[in-house]
Amino acid sequence: MSKSRILSIQSHVAFGYVGGKAAVFPLQCLGYDVDVVNTVNFSNHSGYARFGGSRTSASELSTIFQTMEENGLLEPERLLTGYIPGGEALSSVKDLATRLRHKNSQMIYLLDPVLGDSGKLYVAPDVIPIYRSMLPLSTIITPNWFEVEVLTDIRITDLLSLRKALRILHEEHHVPNVVVSSIPLRAWMYESLPSHIQHPLDADNPQPDDGYLLCISSSTEDPDRGGYPSTVHARSIPLIPGYFSGVGDLFSALLLAHYQPTSEYLVSESVNANGHPLPIAASEALSKTHAMLALTQEYSMSLPEDERLPTDEEIDEQEPSRKIRRMKGRELRLIQGQDIIRGTRPIEHRKMELWTGFWSS
């Protein structure tokens, strides 16, 4: 087992599994030496309503990066960046990513542009243009649906606007690889999918837009980083109800861990679902993340009733401890499910399939 070194820059919480706590252990299990820089040091994630601790300032971040560089300790083969709450801190990370990219054009940089979710920003608005300017440095980005909309300024309501958004990411922002996981599957998406990707509708699932999520990957092979059209893959998976934190952070870490650009497709140059490194990695990340979520959900449902209260924001407001108890019962079962990460526990494989005719149909 001799894998490369990853520099991971994201949030740290003492309790629970989001940010670095959701990403670093899986990467280590999969054989990577991980250098860990914490952008915040908090007690727990913000979903608990109450959280305490401090943010790492831009100058503290720069000092850490600079000292590592002076000591010859800043030569990662891979870079992973996640939640960075303010513009100044993000600028410091951007400077670093620029230097590292300049030193090593082969570095694999997974940039997770953490901006918000479901229509709400959870960073300062000044980070948005900085993230846009960082996109050309990336190898892979993993925005959620909302973040794709914010980064591209496109409201995605149909296949045409989805195409436009992906084209902007690839052509204008020079992103070679995009993976959007956990998209609530709408009827228009379902109808746009080729039949081999559509999940079957039956008595349990009569509506196409009910109870499923879609994962999309879009990759280009253009050395100029502006390839178009891209190759698009997709997979729908059953939605596990309830809100769980850290799922995106785990997914991004697994995607980076399993992304192996030296696989044979580079030799054969055949474009199919088996050969592309991006959908191969996305399939692994999707399968493992879903299995981990199912394990967490199962545990959460086994708790006493008052620790598995359903999500209800109105009741939560009247009784904040209710939300806290629920959050605690829904922390990812990363430790108990570490065999899933390592691949030694059998799980269902959810393969990303080629979206034939994505650009032309």
Binding stretches for a second copy (CB under 8 A): 1-3, 7, 12, 14-16, 21, 25, 28-29, 31-33, 35-38, 41-44, 48, 50-54, 56, 60, 63-68, 70-73, 321, 324-325, 328, 335-336, 338
Tokens representing 209 are 């837009």
Residue 81, strand partner residues: 9, 111
Q: Judged by CB, which is closer to a second copy: 10, or 236?
A: 10
Torsion of CA 120, 193, 289, 249, to 10 degrees: -30
Q: Judged by CB, which is closer to a second copy: 53, or 226?
A: 53
In single-letter form, the type of residue at position 314 comes to E
How many CA atoms lie within 13 Å of 55's alpha carbon, on the beta-carbon side? 12
Q: Judged by CB, which is closer to a second copy: 65, or 131?
A: 65
Shortest Cβ 232–a second copy spacing (Å):
35
Q: Judged by CB, which is closer to a second copy: 79, or 150?
A: 79
Shortest Cβ 225–a second copy spacing (Å):
29
DSSP string, 13-54: ESSSSSTHHHHHHHHHHTT-EEEEEEEEEESS-GGGS---EE
Dihedral of CA 333/338/340/344: which sign?
negative
Shortest Cβ 122–a second copy spacing (Å):
18
Distance in angstroms (rounded) separating the CA atoms of residues 3 and 14: 28
- Catalytic site includes residue 112: no
Q: Judged by CB, which is closer to a second copy: 41, or 133?
A: 41
Distance in angstroms (rounded) separating the CA atoms of residues 229 and 164: 11
Shortest Cβ 204–a second copy spacing (Å):
32
Distance in angstroms (rounded) separating the CA atoms of residues 65 and 96: 7
Q: Judged by CB, which is closer to a second copy: 75, or 171?
A: 75
Q: From the candidates 126, 249, 306, 339, give the one annotated as an active-site residue.
A: 249
In single-letter form, the type of residue at position 359 comes to W
Shortest Cβ 288–a second copy spacing (Å):
17
Shortest Cβ 59–a second copy spacing (Å):
10
Query: What are the angstrom distances between the C-alpha of 68 and each of 34, 65, 96?
Result: 14, 5, 11
Torsion of CA 302, 303, 305, 311, to 10 degrees: -90
Active site residues per annotation: 249
